[in-house]
Amino acid sequence: MNDNRESIRNEIKHIRNLQSTNDIYKNSIIMTDKLFSNQIFQNSNSIGFYYSLKKEVSTSNMIQKSLDLGKKVSLPKIDSESKTMNFHIINGIDNLQKNHFDIYEPINGEISNNIDVMIVPGIAFDQLGNRLGFGSGYYDKFLKSQTSIYKIALAFDFQLIDNIDVQEHDVPMDLIITENRLITIK
């Protein structure tokens, strides 16, 4: 089962790396529009985002737009010793630094204990909302402890696969947004 998960990760990462900057930009705008027109997102006060890597759905404009709307925005900060992460409230994207995974995270900021909607990264997703992450388990651990958060995955269409072998620690999404689809799980 783990070999299958790793081969899916490698295949999707390969396809993701072949995308042009223009396609990423264009499809990210489409997903931004879908996200901001979603009623649950609109009604939420506190949003947990991830700061995207180069070939992921771009979240920087989403983060700024959410801040401009007066939403409380939080980004993850990883504690590599305890292998956990917390979300810290940010006022802008200028107070971030890269961690040892080369991911931007808050330098400081109050820990958010009340997130309504979480925008969750991943490598692959299936129609049932199952998510294949990067393999470290940070998001699954965090989401297991925060059961009331509404979980939204942003993914390119090629990241949707038929089936993900679910493991005990995996936490499914509530909604998946792609450039061409909107898949409501619950």
Question: In this model, does residue 182 exceed pLDDT 60?
Answer: yes
Give residues with Cβ within 8 angstroms of 44, minimum separation 6: 71, 116, 117, 150
Which residue did the predictor score with more confidence, 3 or 22? 22
Identify the pLDDT of residue 3.
Answer: 65
Identify the pLDDT of residue 1.
Answer: 40
Computed on alpha carbons and rounded to an integer, the radius of gyration of the chain in Å comes to: 15
Identify the pLDDT of residue 102.
Answer: 84
Identify the pLDDT of residue 2.
Answer: 57
Which residue did the predictor score with more confidence, 166 or 27? 27
Question: Hey, which residues does 84 pair with through a beta bridge?
Answer: 79
Task: Place 126 in a pLDDT band, splitting at 50, 70 and 90.
Answer: very high
Whole-number mean pLDDT of the chain?
Answer: 91
Q: Where are the domains of the chain?
A: 2-184
The model's pLDDT over 135-172, given as tens digits with 9 standing for 90+, comes to: 778 888 898 888 899 999 999 999 999 999 888 888 99
Report in angstroms the alpha-carbon separations of 38 from 44, 49, 184: 10, 16, 11
Average pLDDT (31-60) is 95
User: Of 177, 183, 184, 145, nearest to 35 (Cα)?
Assistant: 177
Question: In this model, does residue 84 exceed pLDDT 90?
Answer: no
DSSP state letters, 73-134: EEEEEEETTTTEEEEEEES-TTSEEE-TTS-EEESS-PBPS--SEEEE--SEE-TT--EE--
Q: From CA 19, how far away is CA 126, in angstroms rounded?
A: 21
User: For 2-184, CATH number?
Assistant: 3.40.50.10420
Identify the pLDDT of residue 140.
Answer: 87
